[in-house]
């Protein structure tokens, strides 16, 4: 039986939610084509995580429990994944397009000379069993249909937020593997880490998005978000300028939102951005350009200068103004 693998990312005892999204999608593909679905998890003292991951559609979870795998180390994780892949010969290995997922996918592709579909927003197999996906290109104005050719395993990284994590009522087997390769780091050692306070906004119910029209003046954006109990996202130009972390960049090369409410401030509506808000329930945009493309992707479109409108809105929300 063909085997689809999904790398289940964990960080210090906590599962990465976007990995579970990919695992749930792999379950759908497994049902459609008769493939076995395996989650692959590395870490230290991970039995509880293994059982949790098994609820999201896997036929089995293959795991390696080793202190050297407690936190992500590119060198060590690549050794582990390559040895397991050579042992099992999976047809396909899928990764969430997180920082670690992207890093590991490239390192695994090289020794196998495998095709790697990067940042896909869909997954399927063609009639010959080749992995296919849609990849935004040319700034997001088109989505290219791409596929792996003849190498195995086939690899892909999946944009977080594209698929939904679902639990399944099915039996899952748990297989602990012992590796022959030495997992002791010999090129670099992580001696300390600081966790970023940035939230995963792909799960946020309300998001205020800052576009290039804000000029990088984000104080009013953060204040509006605070008063609305919302989170903040940005378009790619602001992330490119280093004004906000990539973790909150929205669009085809960032995060996809499924929020109940999105307020877009000063974003023109480039295709690579609007692909990240297409699944939101209510989109309200403010832009001084009456012909901005974002209009076509908004439920409510306000033609106004955000630096005149938002301060008045803030005053109303603070209870100090008249409607």
- Residue 137 has what pLDDT? 61
Least confident window among 132-146, 216-230, 292-306: 132-146
Tally of CB atoms within 10 A around 315: 12
Domains of the chain: 3-176 (3.40.50.620), 201-317 (3.40.50.1220)
Instruction: Output the DSSP codes for 107-120.
Output: HHHHHHT--EEEEE
Task: Give the up-direction half-sphere exposure of residue 238: CA atoms within 13 A in the CB hemisphere.
Answer: 29
Mean pLDDT of the chain: 89
103: tokens are: 């890093």
Q: Give the residue-averaged pLDDT of 139-165.
A: 83
- Residue 121 has what pLDDT? 87
pLDDT at 322 over 60: no
Q: Give the residue-averaged pLDDT of 138-153.
A: 76
- Residue 138 has what pLDDT? 54
Hey, what's the torsion of the CAs at 306, 312, 314, 317, to 10 degrees?
-140
- Residue 323 has what pLDDT? 43
Q: 300 - beta bridge partners?
A: 284
Kindly report the length of the chain: 323
CA distance 136 to 285: 23
Q: Quick check: 216 and 271 in contact, CB under 8 A?
A: no
Which stretch, 103-112, 177-186, 254-263, has highest mean pLDDT?
103-112
Q: Please give the backbone phi and psi of residue 11, each rounded to the nearest 5 degrees, phi first.
A: -135, 110
209-248: per-residue pLDDT in tens? 999 999 888 999 999 999 999 999 999 999 888 888 888 9
pLDDT at 41 over 90: yes
Q: Which of 227, 239, 282 is nearest to 257 (CA)?
A: 282
Q: Please give the backbone phi and psi of residue 31, each rounded to the nearest 5 degrees, phi first.
A: -65, -40
- Residue 149 has what pLDDT? 85
pLDDT at 190 over 80: no
- Residue 147 has what pLDDT? 87
**Burial of 108 per CB tally in 10 Å (0-12, 13-18, 19+):** buried
Q: Please give the backbone phi and psi of residue 180, each rounded to the nearest 5 degrees, phi first.
A: -85, -30
Positive or negative CA dihedral for 173, 179, 155, 129? negative
154-163 burial, b for 16+ CB within 10 Å, e for fewer? bbbbbbbbbb
E-strand ranges in the chain read 3-8, 10-11, 14-15, 36-43, 60-65, 92-96, 116-120, 124-125, 131-137, 142-147, 154-158, 173-176, 206-210, 231-234, 261-265, 282-287, 300-303
Tally of CB atoms within 10 A around 16: 19
Largest interatomic CA distance in the chain = 71
> Which tops the pLDDT comparison, 139 or 257?
257
């Amino acid at each position: 039986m063909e085997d689809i693998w999904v790398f289940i990312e964990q960080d210090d005892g906590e599962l990465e939610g976007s990995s579970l999204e990919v695992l749930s999608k792999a379950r759908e593909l497994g049902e459609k084509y008769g493939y076995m679905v395996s989650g692959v998890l590395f870490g230290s003292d991970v039995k509880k995580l293994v059982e949790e991951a098994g609820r999201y559609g896997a036929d089995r979870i293959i795991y390696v429990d080793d202190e050297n795998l407690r936190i992500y180390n590119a060198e060590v994780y690549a050794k582990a994944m390559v040895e397991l892949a050579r042992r099992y010969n999976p047809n396909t290995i899928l990764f969430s397009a997180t920082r670690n997922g992207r890093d590991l996918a490239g390192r695994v592709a090289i020794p196998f000379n495998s095709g790697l579909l990067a940042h896909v927003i869909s997954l399927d197999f063609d009639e010959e069993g080749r992995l296919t996906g849609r990849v935004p290109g040319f700034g997001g104005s088109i989505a290219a249909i791409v596929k792996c050719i003849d190498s195995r395993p086939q690899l892909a990284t999946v944009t977080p937020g594209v698929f939904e994590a679902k639990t399944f009522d099915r039996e899952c087997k748990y297989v602990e593997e012992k590796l022959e390769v030495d997992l002791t780091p010999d090129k670099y050692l992580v001696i300390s880490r600081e966790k970023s306070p940035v939230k995963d906004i792909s799960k946020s119910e309300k998001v205020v998005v800052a576009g290039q029209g804000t000029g990088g003046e984000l104080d009013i954006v953060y204040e509006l978000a605070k008063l609305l109990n919302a989170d903040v996202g940005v378009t790619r130009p602001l992330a490119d300028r280093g004004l906000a972390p990539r973790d909150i960049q929205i669009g085809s090369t960032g995060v996809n939102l499924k929020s109940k409410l999105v307020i877009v401030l000063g974003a023109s509506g480039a295709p690579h951005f609007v692909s990240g808000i297409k699944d939101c329930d209510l989109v309200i945009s403010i832009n001084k350009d009456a012909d901005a493309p974002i209009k076509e992707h908004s439920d409510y479109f306000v033609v106004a200068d955000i630096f005149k409108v938002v301060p008045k809105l803030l005053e109303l929300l603070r209870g100090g103004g008249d409607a």
